[in-house]
A and B are shown apart, each in its own frame.
Chain A
């Protein structure tokens, strides 16, 4: 039976693939290659390394398919595997300098950036907010992106990042503090950010 990956749900594809259905496997690849690439690109390594890692991840999935168990979230499984894989590569190579997420790295945002933001506060919009999010230290940005962009639960974010949930919470609190600091009080731009729903 040929599996149509456009309509089948993840679990169905996953189970078909574990039985050796190459079409279902291709479907999973088509479905997730874009988000995996995007995730890898922003946090883990350079573009060529992300490509290599995604290819190896899928090759290993296929080779080990008979040993794979059922899963409740295919996306979670793939993200976690990809992150682990690239970590191994970069640690084995130990050329990448890991920037620790210490309080000092919270000051990585150049001050002219902050000045610019203050100066532009009257035209502040979602676009600016996004720009500031991109300036956060890597791990804070990663946690925020996994939670709100890729829509994982906090528990899943912690598992993907191989941290305990409390550490993720601390990370998020630091990110929020940083954001508030950048905008003065967030309240300053609120009148411009009234969305239907709350008001």
Chain B
């Protein structure tokens, strides 16, 4: 056989076996000694074979393998049919039912196509966990981060992040992330068209059924969010800093599938930071700016107010289980002020008090 082109080497089983496993080595060593001019094309064929034989893999995680096996075992030993109105009648009924449910299942099941595309093009091998139970399932990643995966959601991740420049995971559905701090290895969540990037924090990502709408809510720390189609996405992914739209605790951002996200807002029910000293706020004739600063620290939110206008306003209040918004509302009543939410911040408008 004469070898003209890389194709000829590709098609030769003995060449492929030699590249993959080193079989038949003396034959090929001799061949290239006699035909040194063939080395270039052979090298091309070899590089491609090596690249193809080390393509990334997607494998089911151990619990998923076990769950699938349980399903198979149930199928291996079907329960004997109960004779109520004869075996044939039941079989017909069962067929109908199965047909009905499977067609519904196939037609109406959400198609997580963006997720699938991302996972199959990932540059590394991934493990996948699917939560098919009806309660939240915790997934522990190799770096110690945890993911609380909502029912019906799936996530893919590398078994080990050690050799990788970034910790990258792929999500469809909803999950709450608690990410261990490692500024040198940013943590990125890919969901629909949205990339959420953090250095170490906790936050949730919620994707709608078709992966089009994505909402990111931050519990602690800082998170940057950008679109995969952002012209600077590459830069934002690799950057050591958090760039793009940065979310701070109790802020959320929704992408609705168009390139431009809606503005930042506060989450519906802001939570106290884990670092908050207390959940009881007792104020006895305290200047209003001091009260707002206490709340800012406790919730990690930004409250915008006019320091000089409010410096002479003093309030006495006992705040405890109310939501943050109710607390602010109560304080505003005492100040004859009002508040609004602008870009995820609380903005207070007041007349002020005379000294």
Shortest Cβ distance from A18 into chain B, in angstroms? 14
> Are B107 and A193 in contact (CB-based, < 8 A)?
no
Task: Contact check, B75 vs A47: say whether CB atoms are below 8 A apart.
Answer: no
Q: Which of B50-64 contact A (CB under 8 A)?
A: 50-60, 64
Compute how far the CA of A127 lies from the CA of B47 in the bound complex, rounded to whole angstroms. 11
Segment touching B, from A3-11, A69-77, A98-106, A168-176: A168-176
Contact A29 B59 (CB under 8 A): no
Chain B residues, Cβ within 8 Å of A68: none
When the two chains form their complex, are residues A130 and B51 in contact, meaning their CB atoms are under 8 A apart? yes
Tell whether, in the assembled complex, residue A46 and residue B107 are in contact, meaning their CB atoms are under 8 Å apart: no
Q: CB distance A130 to B123 under 8 Å?
A: yes
Q: Does B109 contact A (CB under 8 A)?
A: yes
Within 8 A of A (CB), among B68-127: 68-69, 71-72, 75-76, 106-107, 109, 111-113, 116, 119-121, 123
Total contacting residues, chain A, CB less than 8 A = 54
When the two chains form the complex, which single residue of A33, A41, A172, A187 contacts B7, counting CB atoms closer than 8 Å? A172
Contact of A42 among B10, B71, B75, B120 (CB under 8 A): B120
Q: Note all chain A residues with C-beta closer than 8 A to B49.
A: 148
Q: Is the CB of B58 within 8 A of A187?
A: no
Q: A33-B65, A130-B56 are in contact. Are A190 and B44 (CB under 8 A)?
A: yes
Asked whether any CB of chain A lies closer than 8 Å to the CB of B342, the reply is: no
Inter-chain CA distance A199–B107, complex, in Å, is 56
Q: Which of B11, B13, B59, B123 contacts A38 (CB 8 A)?
A: B59
The listed residue (A54, A154, A190) touching B11 by CB distance below 8 A is A154
Task: Across the interface, name the chain A residue whose C-beta is closest to B13.
Answer: A153
Contacts A42-B58, A42-B120, A62-B75 given; does A129 touch B68 at CB 8 Å: no
Looking at the complex, which of B35-43, B138-146, B201-209, B278-286 is the stretch in contact with chain A?
B35-43
In Å, the complex CA distance between A148 and B69 comes to 28
Determine if B75 and A55 form an interchain contact, defined as CB atoms under 8 angstroms apart. yes
Bound CA–CA A87/B283 (angstroms)? 69
Asked if B39 and A199 sit within 8 Å, CB to CB, the answer is: yes
Contact B44 A187 (CB under 8 A): yes
Count chain B residues whose beta carbon lies closer than 8 angstroms to a beta carbon of A.
50
In the complex, are the beta carbons of B53 and A22 less than 8 A apart? Answer: no
Task: Return chain B residues, CB-CB under 8 Å to A46.
Answer: 111-113, 116
Give the dominant DSSP class at B's interface. Answer: helix
- CB nearest to A33 among chain B residues: B65
Contact A149 B52 (CB under 8 A): yes
- Asked if A95 is at the interface of the complex by the 8 Å CB criterion, the answer is yes
Knowing A33-B65, A38-B57, A46-B111, the reply to whether A187 touches B40 (Cβ < 8 A) is: yes
Q: Is B128 an interface residue (CB 8 A)?
A: yes
A89 CA / B130 CA spacing, docked (Å): 22
A154 partner residues in chain B, CB cutoff 8 A: 11, 13
- Rounded to whole Å, the gap between the CB of B245 and the closest CB of chain A is 24
A134 to B68, Cβ gap below 8 A? no
Q: Is the CB of B116 within 8 A of A47?
A: yes
Collect the chain A residues with CB atoms within 8 Å of residue B119's CB.
41, 47
- Using known A-B contacts A33-B68, A59-B76, determine if residue A198 contacts B43 with beta carbons closer than 8 Å: yes
- What residues of chain B lie closer than 8 Å to A199, measured between beta carbons? 39
B3 proximal to A (CB < 8 A):
no
Look across to chain B and name the residue whose beta carbon is closest to the beta carbon of A154.
Answer: B11
Q: Are the C-beta atoms of A173 and B7 separated by less than 8 Å? A: yes
20 extra interface residue pairs, beta carbon distance < 8 Å, beyond A149-B55, A193-B47? A38-B58, A47-B128, A48-B130, A55-B72, A89-B106, A95-B106, A129-B51, A131-B123, A133-B48, A134-B121, A147-B16, A147-B52, A148-B16, A148-B48, A148-B52, A149-B53, A151-B20, A187-B44, A198-B43, A198-B46
B residues with CB within 8 A of A:
6-7, 10-11, 13, 16, 20, 32, 39-40, 42-44, 46-60, 64-65, 68-69, 71-72, 75-76, 106-107, 109, 111-113, 116, 119-121, 123, 128, 130, 154
